[in-house]
Amino acid sequence: MAEFGFDVLATDGAARRGRITTAHGTVDTPAFMPVGTAGTVKGMLPGAVAETGAEILLGNTYHLMLRPGAERVERLGGLHRMMGWDKPILTDSGGFQVMSLTGLRKLTEDAVIFKSHIDGSEHVLSPERSMDIQRMLDADITMALDECTPHPATYEQTDKSLALSMRWGARSKTAFRQRPGYGLFGIVQGGVYLDLRSRSVTELTGIGFDGYAIGGLAVGEGQETMFTVLDHTAPQLPADRPRYLMGVGTPADLVGSVARGVDMFDCVMPTRSGRTGQAFTARGKVNLRNARHQDDPRPLQEGCRCPACTQFSRAYLHHLQRSEEMLGPILLTWHNLTYYQNLMAGIRQAVASGNFEDFAAAFAEEQALGDIPLL
């Protein structure tokens, strides 16, 4: 089995074109990971997700430890076998979900104690337990457990939270079971405070991880502030390790973050938007529930290879949404994931050919034009 690794194949400014090697295959970067929180990308068969161009999925420790349970997943052969996905999987450590359980959790130095949102049962999630759960899930990429600093937070609150995350990061590294093809990522915290971000990078690189995530962004600080933090943080991370911006984001977020040296992304936006009638296109977002689509015979986006665009009209997609037929969210989810994967493929090609700046400018110009109405 191949060792876990990352190769930078080309650069264009700060943008990178690379490849991650894992136990379950390779991932071309920059890469977007569809979110399969509970062991499924909602409304999509695994083969359909692969057809969009996705090479890696994200699963979630918190949800899977509660239902069906990590031990059960392990008995069933691991998450890959259980959900029918033979490509790489990254698992979120569960920290973000647990920290969002306001009133249902208690934070200690050792762990976070929380009550399940499903049945109220009490659970303890420590760095050691998180590493063990992710091992049982058979995640190719395991995330260190951290405390997700809320936004907004004072400097003092962020400083204290960061210190705990770094201690938990060290414990995660000690508890992680090294195996060929499997990697552990540390998570940079520090909120919007640049000196704290630098300190976090220094401490994490001192511990030593196979990759580095940038957490605590896209939580309400706005794109301009997010890009400022990335401008400061990404260049300080090791050039020979993948960089993962957690929970981001819009197509413009992805293009702007690649320009600042980010290699990996995940976000619920394309799937969640698909379930609410929102479609991403080269000319911006389209709401298929709007009445203006009811007589429109055109495809959602010319040239798109997904079934929503190659087999059906906007009028039909509008009908499905208004009728609340389950096929509607399925088709729009399929389209949105295809759009995101096409965008990432275009980015990779642009970086490899040295014209990423032109690609980014053309992307922004086309997005600004907006959708073309039916004349």
DSSP assignments along 294-362, one per residue: TT--S-SSTT--SHHHHH--HHHHHHHHHTT-THHHHHHHHHHHHHHHHHHHHHHHHHHHT-HHHHHHH
Please check whether residue 41 is in contact with residue 105, taking contact to mean a CB–CB distance below 8 angstroms.
no
Distance CA 226, CA 220 (A): 9
Extents of the domains making up the chain: 5-95+123-266, 274-357
- The domain at 5-95+123-266 falls in which architecture? Alpha-Beta Barrel (3.20)
Please check whether residue 79 is in contact with residue 48, taking contact to mean a CB–CB distance below 8 angstroms.
no
Strand order in the sheet with 5-12: 5-12, 15-22, 25-29
Residue 99 has pLDDT above 80, yes or no: no
Residue 83 has pLDDT above 70, yes or no: yes
Distance CA 256, CA 258 (A): 6
| 12 counts as catalytic | no
How many alpha carbons fall within 13 Å on the CB side of residue 317? 34
Percent of the chain at pLDDT exceeding 70: 99
- Whole-angstrom CA distances from 257 to 31, 93, 156, 260 are 12, 23, 28, 5
Residues 6+ apart with CB under 8 A from 162: 149, 189, 190, 191, 196, 199, 200
Q: Which pLDDT does position 103 carry in this prediction? A: 66
Please check whether residue 235 is in contact with residue 14, taking contact to mean a CB–CB distance below 8 angstroms.
yes
Q: Which pLDDT does position 274 carry in this prediction? A: 98
- Average pLDDT, whole number, for the chain? 96
How many other C-beta atoms are found inside a 10 Å radius of the C-beta of residue 220?
Answer: 9
Distance CA 83, CA 36 (A): 10
- Segment 73-79 shows an average pLDDT of 98
Residue 56 has pLDDT above 90, yes or no: yes
Question: Which structure tokens are listed for 229?
Answer: 């933090």
Facing residues of 213 across strands? 187, 244
92, 146, 253, 263: which is the annotated catalytic residue? 92
If pLDDT is split at 50, 70 and 90, which confidence band does 117 have? confident
Distance CA 108, CA 130 (A): 15
| 132 counts as catalytic | no
12, 210, 263, 266: which is the annotated catalytic residue? 266
* Per-residue pLDDT tens over the stretch 160-188: 999 999 999 999 999 999 999 999 999 99
Phi and psi for 49 in degrees, rounded to 5? -65, -45
If you count them, how many residues does the chain have?
375
Residue 104 has pLDDT above 90, yes or no: no
Q: Which pLDDT does position 102 carry in this prediction? A: 65
Closest among 110, 114, 80 to 98, alpha carbons compared: 114
Amino acid (1-letter code) at residue 103: G
Q: Which pLDDT does position 100 carry in this prediction? A: 75
